[in-house]
Amino acid sequence: MDIQLDKDTIGKIGEHMTFAQLLKLGYEVYLAVSKSQKHWDIIAVVNNSFKRIQVKTTFLQNESKNNSTNIGIVGYDILVIVVIDDDKTDFLILTKNEVKIEKSSNKKLSVSQFINDKYSIKTSLISHREQWGKIDRR
């Protein structure tokens, strides 16, 4: 994909794609409205409680070695990684504990791997694809 967008615009694209997908799935959701909510981007109301959702977005074929994202494990309940690849978009949904396991001792969370002259989603993350039901769990 030959689109040249700044980091903030790419982030907003992923946030709005996630917001739209959550609405389609019937969730009551709200976008964060200020910088004071820096650890989450979307709030979902689930069973009279709130789930804080952090969204990270990447274009898969961007020549980045492994599409790493700098994500901690505080301030949110669910991480949604939006992976845009030409004409396809994948949503990877992870709990904080799953992020912690995936990162292991690394500072960043790697999203992709280079196989057969093309970037693809890292094998260990594929099982998190479209796992929206994690938002409903406690």
Looking at residue 65, what is its pLDDT?
A: 59
Looking at residue 39, what is its pLDDT?
A: 85
pLDDT tens track, the chain, 138 positions: 455 778 888 889 999 999 999 999 999 999 988 766 778 999 999 989 999 999 999 888 776 655 777 787 788 999 999 999 888 999 999 999 999 998 887 888 889 888 888 888 999 999 999 999 999 986
Q: 10 Å Cβ neighbour count for 53?
A: 24
DSSP 17-52: HHHHHHHHTT-EEEE--SGGGTT-SEEEEETTEEEE
Amino acid at 4: Q
Looking at residue 2, what is its pLDDT?
A: 52
Looking at residue 1, what is its pLDDT?
A: 46
Domain ranges of the chain: 7-136
What are the structure tokens assigned to 86, written together?
């030409």
Looking at residue 35, what is its pLDDT?
A: 66
DSSP 45-105: EETTEEEEEEEEEEETTS--SS--B---SSS-SEEEEEEEETTEEEEEEEEHHHHHHHHTT
What are the structure tokens assigned to 102, written together?
């995936």
Phi (first) and psi of residue 84, to 5 degrees: -100, 125
Please, are residues 60 and 85 in contact by the beta-carbon 8 Å criterion?
Answer: yes
Looking at residue 70, what is its pLDDT?
A: 77
Phi-psi region of 63 (alpha: psi -120 to 50; beta: other; left: phi over 0): left
Looking at residue 6, what is its pLDDT?
A: 80
End-to-end CA distance of the chain: 38
- The CATH code that applies to domain 7-136 is 3.40.1350.10
pTM: 0.89
